[in-house]
Amino acid sequence: MGTGRGLGRRQTPAGRGGAHQGLGNRSGVGRTGAGAGRLGQARALRTANARRHPTRSAARTGATQDRRAVADARRDAKAAARQAKRDARGGGRGPLGRAAAWGGRKAGAGARALISKARGKQDRATDAALAAKRSAARKAPARRKARWALWRSAARMFGKRLLACALGGALGLVGLVTSPIGRRLGIPWLVHPGRRLYRRIVDKARRQCAERDARIRKTRSEEEAAADAAASADPGAIGDRVERPARMVPVSYPTVSEVENVSGFKFEEAASEMQNAAATYDPDSNMEVVDMIDNLPSALECVAKTFLILAERSDREFAFEKEVADGFDDIYKSLLSAVDAAVDLGPRFREIHEGDIARHEDPRNGSDAEKKWNV
């Protein structure tokens, strides 16, 4: 008994220390090997999900369908379990049992119809709310412009009213003298001249304000209609294909065992190589420069299309905001102007060096005879 207790007492601290040491070793291994494996697996899962749902809208629609499918499966499983219980009790036999089963099936069909109707109503309401938000976003600049114009129109009206008060008050002091004379002589325009002037100025200001407001509202309606027409004519505009939800949505990820690493796109390396090539370029003849200028528009067009592809992928595949895609699109449009300038450079270069180019393209009596002109 004593020996057993002694052995137990001596082994307990060692066992605890060994347990802690073993846990520490296991946690260290998990941080190195398992941590890297989990990171690669998470990256692979995100890649697979991006391939499965290329847009946020598709991901949200798929998550909604999966959630509804799970709810339907649970409902069907409960109905099957109730039917199995009734069959086990023997309630499914006889006319009464068959009538009860028929009523249950009818009730289930009615419930499914109501659920489908409610889901359709919810989907229509979601689409309507999304369309309303998009319409408000399209019309926001026109409404903001009209709002400021209406404020300025109201300020002009208020300023003219203050001017009418000042002039009417000054003329009202004169009316203190002319009003009794006008009543005695029967001359109406001498009676209360300040009130008459105030009324005339304010009425004219109100008419002008109403006309300005009508023009502003008409312009706003035209700009809103133009924005709607542009949106309907170009449904694939940047930022309209990706739906960005306000919160994360649950998505089922497939299990992937392998991770594929793809090298990054380094545009600065290609650009620096082009710059170094231009700095060290030493042509054998100037006709090489002519060929380079002739091929320059196609080369610049390839560079411009690079940013067009980045703009489209930023909006369709990457988790970027609309402003990033718009920035790439602005760069693409700026480079298109460079392409136009390159197209104009070729004919201008040939026109300026027409004689020099003609000696190479159409030499007189052969190229050897033309070389004798040491120019």
pLDDT digits (tens, 9 = 90+) for 159-182: 999 999 999 888 888 888 888 888
Looking at the structure, tell me whether residues 281 and 361 fall in a common domain.
yes
> Residue 287 falls within a domain, yes or no?
yes
Specify burial of residue 167 (Cβ count, 10 A radius: 0-12, 13-18, 19+): middle
The answer on 291 and 196 residing in a single domain is: no
Residues 224 and 271 both lie in one domain: no
Residues 271 and 218 in one domain: no
327 inside domain:
yes
Q: What is the rounded distance in angstroms from the CA atom of residue 17 to the CA atom of residue 10?
A: 12
At 97 the pLDDT is 64
Per the document, the length of the chain is 375
pLDDT of residue 154: 93
* Domain endpoint, select from 180, 210, 233: 233
Q: Is residue 241 part of a domain?
A: no
Whether residue 48 is found in the same domain as residue 144: no
Is the domain of 186 the same as that of 272?
Answer: no
Q: Pick from 233, 257, 283: which residue ends a domain?
A: 233
User: Are 286 and 364 members of one domain?
Assistant: yes
Q: Does 348 lie in the same domain as 306?
A: yes
Torsion (CA) 47, 52, 54, 55 in degrees, nearest 10: -110
Same domain, residue pair 334 and 279:
yes
pLDDT at 265: 66
Distance CA 39, CA 45 (A): 10
Question: Residue 154 falls within a domain, yes or no?
Answer: yes
pLDDT of residue 362: 66
260 domain-assigned: no
| Tally of domains in the chain | 3
Decide if 29 is inside a domain.
Answer: yes
Reading the chain (375 residues) residue by residue, the pLDDT tens digits are: 444 444 444 444 444 444 444 444 444 444 445 555 777 777 777 777 777 766 776 777 777 777 877 877 887 787 777 777 766 665 445 666 667 667 777 777 788 788 888 888 888 888 888 888 888 888 899 999 999 999 999 999 999 999 999 998 888 888 888 888 888 888 888 888 888 899 999 999 999 999 999 999 999 999 998 888 887 776 555 444 455 544 444 444 444 444 444 455 677 788 788 888 888 878 777 777 888 888 888 888 888 888 888 887 776 777 777 778 788 888 888 888 888 888 888 888 878 877 777 777 666 655 665 565 554
In the structure encoding, which two tokens stand for residue 204, read together?
A: 């004219």
In a domain, 227, yes or no: yes
Statement to judge: residues 336 and 280 lie in one domain: yes
- Residue of 239, 345, 215 lying closest to 292 (CA atoms): 345
Amino acid residing at 184: R
Q: Which residues contact 29 (CB under 8 A, 6 or more apart)?
A: none
Q: What pLDDT is stored for residue 9 in this prediction?
A: 44
In a domain, 195, yes or no: yes
The residue segments making up the domain with residue 361 are 267-371
Q: For position 52, what pLDDT does the model report? A: 72
Please give the pLDDT value at position 95. Answer: 67
d(CA 242, CA 317): 9
Q: Kindly write down the DSSP assignment for every residue of 185-244, as one continuous string.
A: HT-GGGSSHHHHHHHHHHHHHHHHHHHHHHHHHHHHHHHHHHHHHHHHH-TT-TTSS---
* Whether residue 202 is found in the same domain as residue 275: no
Q: Is the same domain home to 226 and 284?
A: no
